Amino acid sequence: MNDTAAPQPRSYPEQQETDLLDLLGILRRRKGLIALGLFMGVAAAVLYYVLTPPTFRAEMEILVGQKSGDLVKGANSSSSVEGVDTEEDVLSTHIQLLTSRRILKAAIEKHDLDEIRSVVEAVESDDNETPLTYILDNLAVTKGGDGVARDAHTLKATYDDPSPSDCALILRAIFDEYKNYLDDHFAGTSTQAVELLTQLSEETAQEVRDAERKLAEHLAGSQVMWDGEKTRNIHKERLEKIEDDLHELTEQEAESASRLKVISDFLASKDASEITDVDRFSLLSEKEVNRLKLMIEMTRGDVASEAFQADQPIRQATAQAEYDEYLTLVMKEKKLREKFSDGHPQIVSLREQIEMMRKFIDNNSSKIQARDAQERITPAEMLQTYVGLLKNDVMGLQRQRQVLQTRSEQELKLAKQLEQAEVQAESMRRDLERRQAIFDDTQSTLKELNFVRDYAGFSTDVIGDAESQERPAWPLPLIVLALGVFAGGLLGLGMGLLADLMDTTFVDPDDVQKTLGAPVLAHVPRFDPIKRKRKDPPFEIDSSIRVYHQPRTPAAEVFRVLRTGLLVEARKNGHQVIQVTSPLPGDGKSTTSVNLAMAFAQTGKRTLIVDADLRKPRVARLLHLTGESGFSEALQDLCDPTDVVQSTVNDNLFAVSAGAIPANPSELLQSYRFSQLINVWRDKFDFIIVDTPTVLAVSDAAVVSEEMDNVLLAVRIIKNGRKAAIRATDILQRSGSEVGAIIVNGYQSKDKSYGYTGGYDADAYGYGYGESHKAYYGDKAPSRNLQSVS
């Protein structure tokens, strides 16, 4: 049984998309169809050029720009007029305007375009044609220039007409109406805009004057202050200052009251006899002690004692420090006067301290110079004195707070009275500013619009006028010919592709290998039988056995190459029994089998060729075998296997003819006797070549392949197509065999009496028989009865 490796997946025709892209191969194979397509394209181009009446073209180039682009405030290259962008949108708008029915109707009416001969002829030849539709169909407008000037801000208008003078006339008329429309439209728009802005300016000026008068009257009738930029409420400002003073005064009062509470609670908690001088002094800070000392010394005249004189240098230094403190108080008063009024509580309190300090300094100075100080004050007197001082401070601060609160209530009441007037004045001021801004903008715009009124809108300058052309614009011979060649090439290529797609013939051996998934070991060229002269002796074997008759020819060399490949395969996988078959009759399988067997024999290998085609055998005729017994008799066990083996012209080549044609060849080939015969001959020969019927004609080849080591499939490119070869390969695979190699056979057999038609069922991988297949089973059955072997 064939034990070759499974072939690669095949590519069916509907899957071979890459084959359709083999344009070079198609051009080579279908050059006739492509040439026909080119001829038809050129013929059509010539016919079109001869039959098409000439058409002339008038061209006009228009430069489109915005006149006010650099003059209007804020204008630039991308500014807009009436919502139209002056870049791409402007050109698109002008194209639409130039081809609009309004412009065309005006041109037809004012320039009598409907009376031009070419227009009249077109309208008369077509009932559905009107002058407007005819002109519109032949008018074309594009934007930009040519080449590097493709982004130019220009329009190119063209008009085609059979008459060169008429096309130029019609195009100029259309442009004149287009330009008149632009001039009238933008001139009217500018005049209307100036009138509206002038009226708006006068109304806005009157509103500004009214707003100024109302604001002045309101300020004169109220107590609201005006500093030139905004309103001021003086009572609100005073109220803010009083609130600041109250806050500071409250903090001082709280501080004095807390100190008084601490000292009073301490004195009340203990008996006077239990309080020591240290306890009393611990209640006072250094600042408080200095303040008490100053006040007590001011109330006593103790400046003449010896102790005072002894402390005189210290007292002088103290006096200097007190003078420095006096100066500090004076500077502080000066700074407060810059911030507050003279009646401010802090300023009043500071002035009292300054006055007391000044008197103290004067008195202390006289005491230091006149006499010694009296005896020192005791700690008890000092503490008692400071308690009284704190009480006086608290009472004074409370009275000051009451005064400030009264003033705050008064200022609050007055500030609220002015608040409504202030809000109204501020609203009137903002309204005045808004109206003034509107008036200023209106005046500025009006001045600029008056300045550029004559330059508003778009400029449409003709940089290339429409002129009558002497040479027609269409048809152009070179362009028509190029289009014809191009269309004809496409047509020819399309016909080539279609023919190549519908053709089921193999293109080349590579195509066979890709499609069937098996290697192509040989490509046998087409050759004719050798002709024998009458005086020459008859051939020992058929002249188609080129390996024997002409061993040095290319055809014989091909079979030797095939032999070499099979020898390598045999050494590698032990293939000894080789089946040769083909998809359909006429593929040259029998000739290939005998040539291959002869090639093996020429190497010294004992080779046996078995004609297993029990329907239309050819091996005996090719090798000129004699004898009546053959393969069919051996299968029926009517003779010994060695008796049917015959010698040939080569000492190493032996053959077994088909013998008598049996009535049941498929059953004989499927019997156990067939396997026995093959095994018997395996031991006696190096190679066995088995020639079998075609795969698609009968089932014999599929039955025999089960006992083969290798299967060779002979395919004729010229005759057979992909479909037959693919079906033959699938049949062998269903029987458990694989095609080991392919032989591409170019030999065209002239023997028309073979008997196969190659018919088979296209919808299932079965076997079918044509009319000539009846020769295997019908009226031509052998006259000699053969024993059937099951």
Q: Which residues have C-beta within 8 Å of that of residue 509, sequence separation ≥ 6?
A: 520, 523, 717, 742, 744
Residue that the structure tokens 């639409």 belong to: 96
Nearest to 208 by CA among 423, 438, 426: 438
Tokens at 657, concatenated: 């003819």
Cα torsion 456, 457, 463, 467 to 10°: value is -130
Residues of the chain with pLDDT under 50: 1-21, 69-86, 301-306, 308, 370-375, 452, 455, 747-790
Residue ranges of alpha helices (H) inside 21-84 are 23-29, 31-51
Would you call the peptide bond into 475 cis, given omega within 30 degrees of 0 as the criterion? Answer: yes
Distance (Å, whole) CA 471 – CA 505: 53
In angstroms, the CA 334 to CA 328 distance is 10
Which whole-number Å values give the CA distances from 303 to 295, 310, 374, in the listed order? 14, 11, 6
170-186 b/e (C-beta count within 10 Å ≥ 16 → b): bbbbbbebbbebbeeeb
**How far apart, in whole angstroms, are the C-alpha atoms of residue 377 and residue 285?**
17
Residues 470 and 54: beta-carbon distance below 8 Å: no
How many residues are present in the chain? 790
DSSP state letter for 55 = B
d(CA 242, CA 225): 20
Phi-psi region of 736 (alpha: psi -120 to 50; beta: other; left: phi over 0): left
CA distances from 195 to 68, 82, 256, 321, 437 (A): 19, 18, 79, 85, 20
Tell me, rounded to whole angstroms, the distance of Cα 523 from its chain centroid: 52
pLDDT given at position 612: 94
pLDDT of residue 365: 61
- Cα gap 731→761, rounded to integer Å: 12
Q: How far apart are CA 36 and CA 488, in angstroms?
A: 8
pTM: 0.44
d(CA 594, CA 555): 13
Q: In angstroms, rounded to a whole number, what is the distance separating the alpha carbons of residues 628 and 610?
A: 15
Enumerate the H helices of 452-519 as residue ranges. Answer: 477-502, 509-516
What the block records as the tokens of 772 is: 């000539």
Tokens 């001039």: give the residue: 183
Tokens describing residue 656 = 């077994």
Q: Which residues contact 68 (CB under 8 A, 6 or more apart)?
A: 75, 81, 452, 455, 456, 457
Question: Angle, nearest 10°, between helix axes 131-138 and 117-125?
Answer: 110
Number of H helices and number of E strands within the chain? Answer: 27, 16
What CA–CA distances, in Å, run from 743 to 429, 518, 528, 595, 646? Answer: 110, 10, 18, 12, 27
Q: Where are the beta strands (DSSP E) in 673-760?
A: 687-691, 710-715, 741-745
Of 596, 600, 577, 522, the residue nearest 2 (C-alpha) = 577
pLDDT for res 5: 41
Instruction: Using CB atoms within 10 Å of the CB of residue 84, give its burial: 0 to 12 exposed, 13 to 18 middle, 19+ buried.
Output: middle
HSE-CB at 470 with a 13 A cutoff on CA atoms is: 0
Amino acid at 305: S
Burial 2-30, CB ≥16 within 10 A → b, else e = bebeebeebbebeebeebeeeeeebeebb
Q: What share of the chain is helix, strand, coil (3-state, %, to 5)?
A: 60, 10, 30
